[in-house]
Structure 1
């Protein structure tokens, strides 16, 4: 049946109960909006989150000549990241098409703005409690040894750098209060003085070296002063590091423990009973005897031993032979002893050869896993990083931060 012809001059009407909305023209974002969007790509170098997400961007305006005025609110006066943030904000602003000039106005957050920021970072309730409680998704490894001088700190720093280079979010807590050395190995010292963390009210932002967030008592003492504390003070310090230092969402937290089985090892066992333990030893039998004890103490506090690391396993010679300065077999022996009576054997994870370059990198603050990855010691540490990064994560019994309501809301 042919459709009826409309009378001249008449207009078609919509069918009953239907509407004929006009199709709007695509909205053209203003330069103000475009600049603010570009600033979302600027990351705070300490907190490692976009400055827009942290409410660090104030007013943004662009005039008809393309001159942009951007207000940036730093967390504190004298923020050590100020120059980096200003440089990155300038680059992001000038990168917007149509912007010809950028005026960056640096201000400081008010007390209320800082309080809102710390509450946002800490989450609902903003309670001052450990970020790494039993329900944490962060893998926590306590690196321990029975005696000093086995290269535990150098190993911890290089392992952290290797894991961070793989794209993991990594933090290091230097719990070796008396013999702190992690800041120097990760390049966070100048003329022997460790870089200071930034304080935002009662929250501490750890310095970052090679992509690793680091906290150490060495960052709070002047002129490399000695620390002479007893048990209660040591416990409070470790607890404060776990409570007040904002590490953010970490994949891995490494703790560099002092040698032996003293106060710090016991405190870590009490505060982080779910941590997993890496036992470091050298090949010599005397070191193996003492390393076994550190593993036993960790196990008594409920911590699981992941495996044994044998350091200083031998010095490769030009002719291909290996000079065993510290003997041989210590790592296997520690693994054998710690496996006795257990449901599953404790493995020897890796044997790391002696390396002059590894030692030199620790002195200059340049991890060998980044500067000379082909060095035999670096190859071994990188292999260890691969092993730890590939370990399956068991979520049974953990309270995950999701709910059916969250799923339905999406």
Structure 2
């Protein structure tokens, strides 16, 4: 990066406030800015995008022009846009990833929380998505892995059913919805294409989601597990034995058996079950299911979320109820779940999430 005096330094300082919207780092820190020169009130800036056809190119260009033209003494900008060389891109990927190939395993500073259920249809994915948005609304950096490979629904619930990740080398940049960085197998398959994979491929996919997807520095990573006790739950137990687990069930007493099993499988892999969420409470689904699962697993019921048409409508529209006007009791319960998760601290260590 060349200099032509104090005015060029001011331009570089302005560019340091421009972030890549996908990587969420300043473009100067990502070595996306080349030469900067100012002559006759015109700033000449060389900008290097990460890849050809970068989906964030228009926004980055707009933000760069706005930032540079806001510098006193600069009246025009001559912006030269190019693309990183393969070597520059590889160096960026290596720097962002660091040396750790499993960034969320034991020793991570990120709190990892898996949401599981004994069977489908209990609203587990909706609870996960709403919880992620509620945590992000508190100012936390939140990532969400849709690990429900066969029944992926997180992109639709969050309003990004057609979103696609950006690939920089062999690093994947996840789309962002409502402040949450999201990855799902649904972003890689054609519409309505069923996923029918066996154990080894499922294991490799989960490993790639955790290693090849660049989430950046997260406060919390949520995982929406498939219902039951199959290959994905076992794989994530092996990869993330440090994860905490929330068990979602309905008020039906008959649901206690299957919900308990999902918690027991998590414990067998070394994960810590921290609580039960009773979804669809106070409606036509009976009562006692959440309390019974909590009793068997010897953990508290962290939330009772009432049956709500607003939650269902919000999931269909991609509009989480936790961002609404606060009038829905289910939204209050979901926000309360986020509060309970934060207040609980991190496992037995008792460290605060904030």
TM-score for the superposition, normalised by structure 1: 0.82
Which of residues 40, 43, 63 is equivalent to 1:88?
63
Please list the CA deviations of residues 185-208 of structure 1 after superposition, one character each: whole Å capped at 9, or x if unmatched. 11222xxxx311111111111111
For residues 76 and 371 of structure 1, what CA distance do their matches in structure 2 show? 37
For residues 20 and 202 of structure 2, what CA distance do their matches in structure 1 show? 31
Q: Does 1:34 align with 2:2?
A: no
Q: Give the Å deviation of 1:335.
A: 0.3
Which of residues 257, 270, 275 is equivalent to 1:289?
257
Which of residues 273, 297, 300 is equivalent to 1:347?
300
Please list the CA deviations of residues 102-137 of structure 1 after superposition, one character each: whole Å capped at 9, or x if unmatched. 2332211001110110111012xx46x211121101
Name 1:58's counterpart in structure 2. Answer: 34
Q: Does 1:103 align with 2:78?
A: yes
Name 2:119's counterpart in structure 1. Answer: 147
CA contact (8 A) 1:372 1:378 kept: no
How many pairs were matched up? 347
CA contact (8 A) 2:272 2:347 kept: no
Which of residues 133, 136, 140 is equivalent to 1:161?
133
Which of residues 59, 65, 70 is equivalent to 2:45?
70
Q: Does 1:356 align with 2:309?
A: yes
Q: Does 1:367 align with 2:339?
A: no
Q: Does 1:271 align with 2:239?
A: yes
Q: Give the Å deviation of 1:295.
A: 0.6
Question: Partner of 2:74: helix, strand, or coil?
Answer: coil
Name 2:288's counterpart in structure 1. Answer: 329
Which of residues 359, 380, 389 is equivalent to 2:342?
389
For residues 154 and 185 of structure 2, what CA distance do their matches in structure 1 show? 10
For residues 224 and 168 of structure 1, what CA distance do their matches in structure 2 show? 33
Unpaired segments ≥5 residues, structure 2: none
For residues 374 and 81 of structure 1, what CA distance do their matches in structure 2 show? 36
For residues 338 and 58 of structure 1, what CA distance do their matches in structure 2 show? 57
Which of residues 175, 179, 184 is equivalent to 2:151?
179
Question: Partner of 2:115: helix, strand, or coil?
Answer: strand
CA contact (8 A) 2:274 2:347 kept: no
For residues 49 and 253 of structure 1, what CA distance do their matches in structure 2 show? 19
Q: Give the Å deviation of 1:327.
A: 0.8
Q: Give the Å deviation of 1:392.
A: 2.5
* Rg (Cα) greater in structure: 1
Q: Does 1:46 align with 2:22?
A: yes
> Structure 1's 363 and 55: CA in aligned 2 closer, same or farther, altered over 3 A?
same
Q: Give the Å deviation of 1:373.
A: 3.0
Q: Give the Å deviation of 1:29.
A: 6.0
Higher helix proportion: 2
For residues 168 and 236 of structure 1, what CA distance do their matches in structure 2 show? 29
Could you list the runs of 4 or more consecutive aligned residues of structure 1 that deviate by over 6 angstroms after TM superposition?
none
Question: Partner of 1:42: helix, strand, or coil?
Answer: coil
Q: Does 1:234 align with 2:202?
A: yes
For residues 343 and 65 of structure 2, what CA distance do their matches in structure 1 show? 40
Unpaired segments ≥5 residues, structure 1: 1-27, 315-323, 340-345, 399-410
Which of residues 361, 375, 379 is equivalent to 2:332?
379
For residues 103 and 292 of structure 1, what CA distance do their matches in structure 2 show? 63
Question: Partner of 2:281: helix, strand, or coil?
Answer: coil
For residues 202 and 378 of structure 1, what CA distance do their matches in structure 2 show? 38
* TM-align CA RMSD: 1.7
For residues 200 and 95 of structure 2, what CA distance do their matches in structure 1 show? 31
For residues 232 and 323 of structure 2, what CA distance do their matches in structure 1 show? 30
Name 2:177's counterpart in structure 1. Answer: 209
Question: Partner of 1:70: helix, strand, or coil?
Answer: strand
For residues 220 and 13 of structure 2, what CA distance do their matches in structure 1 show? 31
> Structure 1's 313 and 394: CA in aligned 2 closer, same or farther, altered over 3 A?
closer
Q: Does 1:132 align with 2:104?
A: yes
Please list the CA deviations of residues 68-88 of structure 1 after superposition, one character each: whole Å capped at 9, or x if unmatched. 222211110111111111111
For residues 139 and 159 of structure 1, what CA distance do their matches in structure 2 show? 14
Q: Does 1:116 align with 2:106?
A: no
Q: Give the Å deviation of 1:150.
A: 0.6
Please list the CA deviations of residues 369-391 of structure 1 after superposition, one character each: whole Å capped at 9, or x if unmatched. 11343311111111111111223
